[in-house]
A = this chain, B = another copy of it.
Amino acid sequence: MNGAEALVRAARAAGVDVCFANPGTTELHLVGALDAVPEMRAVLGLFEGVCTGAADGYGRMTDRPALTLLHLGPGFANGIANLHNAKRARTPVVNLIGDHATWHVGVDPPLASDIESLARPVSAWYRKSSSADGVAADAAEAIAAATGTPGVATLAIPSDCAWGETSAVAAAVALPEFPLVSSDAIQRAAEVLEGDGPRMLLLGGRALRDEGLRWAARIQAKTGCRVFCETFPARLERGTGLPAVERLPYFPDQVLELLKSFEHLVIAGADEPVAFFGYPGIPSRPIPASCQVTELSLPTENIINALQAVAEEVGANADGPTAALSVPARPSGELNPVSLGTAILATQPDGLIVMDEAATSGLPFLLGSVGVPRFSYLTLTGGAIGQGLPCATGAAIACPDRRVLAFQADGSGLYTLQSLWTQAREGLNVTTVICANRLYRILRIELDRSDVSGAGEKAQALTDLGSPELDWVALAKGFGVPGERVATAEDLCAALERSYATPGPYLIEAVL
């Protein structure tokens, strides 16, 4: 057995069974090892950002890491943007990088670079293996680190460590559990939530799954607090039969305005709200002095347990309200963000996974989704655009029995459109709706909000995607995915329903 095979066997033993790969020469022994371990599925991406984004989507739906297999520093670098999103989503991901042989890197071959310097900013754990005997244990530790943090772990494997003979197998590594929240924190949160004045309970991370939502709803029913979710949840469970949450708005002035009406903010599993960008005259921390912050649980603590304990503490013995089935009427007429979102809501099959990177075109969707059939809702957690199509691809690998909707802005979709080919190759049940407004609309909005003076022709051109117009149906065809273009809400409804009824990927270019 060589080090590569020992590594893949260790990953299998730790419960990992998918590898999103874009390999090169220094990964070929790892490629060979994938063949040696039949239970490890290998999925090819045509670009590294597809692999890392797919691993993020897979991890969000399974809470288990997938492997990525990436080529040296530059190949890894192509995956950094979506690893940044995975880091912010606290998704477990394990990157394998085939590095130059230990004895070769000293001559500074053309593809050599400082992999660690590239990897550290997105990796909670990084290691470079030093021997074939150590590779299996390194992989097991990487998996434990990714699962426990949870987050991104990156392991560089020099090619001589991959091809070298070994008999070393990894000792079973216990996958860590999230630490319990202190009783003090529970006590404090319970007191605040039971107290007077308007109170907000802000949920994030795994609090946004069924169990967390139900405990929060009990607390809400008992105490009268309002329950919000973070602006960009990694995964929010939503729809009929579940308690609904409100969403924290995006712009800091909106957050500030909202929080002015609360005396207390209790945070469970979310980061404290901060402005996405700094703007002149607007605070980075959009929390008015009149609103007091109490932290119940970090995103890396056992949030469910903490919410349950608070519910018990405040005597919330009855279930909170859940959403009744409520599906909007099918819209008609021209497509705009409202009619687009309504068309999706009106036709959603049960169990849909919605990956929302629709940016400005997606804003109305979530608001109207309280009572539609149950779905999982994934968002762009780290702001590094180009996450939607890969993440949808990985979610479809994770959940082959569910339909995935990639609800996708056109500008962002162009960063990682190669995902479509992986969807075609693997026959994945992904419907992609491209919101073709042919603009970087968010930048137009930011330009309008800003004091940028003299923004003229070039500013318009640098935020314009319409010259020439992109033909997404042709792009999809190029990657082997069928598709169509629609320009009305009724045509979008019909196209969505056709795609849901047909196995395999489908792309709908919705012209706004």
Interface residues of A in 264-323 (CB under 8 A from B): 271, 274-278, 280, 284-285
By the criterion CB–CB under 8 Å, are B456 and A47 in contact? no
Q: How large is the interface on A (under 10, 10 to 19, 20 to 34, 35 or more residues)?
A: 35 or more
- A215 contacts the other chain (CB 8 A): no
Chain B minimum-CB-distance residue to A100 = B278
User: Once bound together, how far apart are the Cα atoms of A29 and B49, in whole Å?
Assistant: 28
> Is A461 an interface position by the 8 A CB rule?
yes
A101 within 8 A of B: yes
Chain B residue at smallest Cβ distance from A78: B81
Chain B residues with Cβ below 8 Å from A24 are: 443
A363 interface hit (Cβ, 8 Å) = no
Interface residues as binary, A98-121 with B (CB distance below 8 Å gives 1, 0 otherwise)? 001101111111110110011011
Is the C-beta of A451 less than 8 angstroms from some C-beta in chain B? yes
CA distance A114 to B232 in the complex (A): 21
* Residues in B neighbouring A454, C-beta threshold 8 A: 32-33, 35-36
Tell me whether A451 and B34 are in contact in the complex, defined as CB-CB below 8 angstroms, given that A232-B110, A470-B479 are known contacts.
no
Chain B residue with the shortest CB-CB distance to A158: B278
Q: Which residues on the B side are within 8 Å of A160 (C-beta)?
A: 278, 280
Q: Could you give, for residues 20-34 of chain A, a 1 whenever the CB lies within 8 Å of some chain B CB and a 0 otherwise?
A: 010111101101111
> Among B100, B275, B462, which residue has its beta carbon within 8 angstroms of that of A44?
B462
Taking a contact as CB atoms under 8 Å apart, the answer to whether B118 and A383 are in contact is: no
B residues in contact with A228, CB < 8 Å: none
List residues of A (454-479) whose CB comes within 8 Å of B's CBs: 454-459, 461-465, 467-475, 477-479
Can you identify 8 A-B contacts, CB atoms within 8 angstroms? A2-B453, A25-B443, A32-B453, A32-B459, A77-B118, A84-B111, A100-B278, A474-B475
CB distance from A443 to the nearest CB of B (A): 7
Are A35 and B457 also in contact (CB < 8 A) when A111-B383, A275-B107, A280-B163 are? Answer: yes
> In the bound complex, what is the Cα–Cα distance between A120 and B34 (angstroms)?
34
* Docked complex: A56-111 residues within 8 A CB-CB of B: 73-75, 77-78, 80-81, 84-85, 88, 100-101, 103-111
CB <8 Å contact, A121 and B110: no
**Is A447 interfacial (CB 8 A cutoff)?**
yes
Of residues A113, A285, A467, which shows the largest number of chain B Cβ atoms within 10 Å of its Cβ? A113
CB atoms of A384 and B278 under 8 A apart? no
Measured CB to CB, the residues of A under 8 A from B are 2, 21, 23-26, 28-29, 31-36, 42, 44, 46-47, 49, 73-75, 77-78, 80-81, 84-85, 88, 100-101, 103-111, 113-114, 117-118, 120-122, 159-160, 163, 232, 271, 274-278, 280, 284-285, 381-384, 386, 411, 414-415, 417-418, 421, 424-425, 442-443, 446-447, 450-459, 461-465, 467-475, 477-480
B284 x A103 contact (CB < 8 A)? yes
Instruction: Report whether A26 and B73 are in contact in the complex, using a CB–CB cutoff of 8 Å.
Output: no
**Known interface pairs A25-B277, A25-B446; A111-B384 also in contact (CB < 8 Å):** yes
How far in angstroms is the closest Cβ of chain B from A375?
23
Out of B81, B101, B106, B121, which one reaches A114, CB within 8 Å?
Answer: B121
Q: How far is the CB of A414 from chain B (nearest CB, A)?
A: 5
Cα of A25 to Cα of B386 in the assembled complex, Å: 16
**A110 and B81: CB pair below 8 A?**
no
